[in-house]
Amino acid sequence: MALDGTAKEFFFRSSIKKYFIDNLKTIENKVIVFDKTILYEEVREYVKDEWIVINFGIFNRDLLSENILDIYCCTRQDPEGVLLSKLTDLVVEYLTDITQTDTMKRITLYNSTDNDPLNWTEIGKLLVTKIFEGSQNYAPDATKVKMLTVLLSWASKI
């Protein structure tokens, strides 16, 4: 018996990547990396002053599945943290939806079997249920970092 698409981690990860690439990279022109550390040395070749790191956390399959994303907003050459504040605000804007009465963002969950995202089909919605913001911290290379821990929930057939 095959696992339903709403319970597949691969479909979840592909959908999250598509959402952030389509919005933060394509529309906002921000550098995004997935499953990496926050250290500046790892992105030095292609970024100067700001980038976003998205790491996939605990994946819990259930009738109401959940995942925790750790999103790190990172800036350099930002003595007062102004760039970090603006970057964090931008990310939070993409994680909320003020047009909804509950302000929770709905992110499309796709069947991502096909290699071409243009051929993906919608199979559900991921609901951003909580956003926890950490305090501004500093990495050993003087990168300013603010972490957002994001809880997503969605209905699954399991």
pLDDT at position 142 is 80
pTM greater than 0.85 (yes/no): yes
> Could you tell me the CA-to-CA distances from 46 to 56, 71, 125 in Å, in that order?
22, 19, 33
Domain of 81? 5-155
Burial letters for 88-107: b for 16+ Cβ neighbours within 10 Å, e otherwise?
A: bebbbebbeeeeeeeebbeb
pLDDT at position 90 is 98
Residues of the chain with pLDDT under 70: 1, 38-47
pLDDT at position 58 is 93
pLDDT at position 77 is 87
Q: Would you state the structure tokens that stand for residue 2, as one six-digit string? A: 């095959």
pLDDT at position 53 is 92
The number of domains in the chain is 1
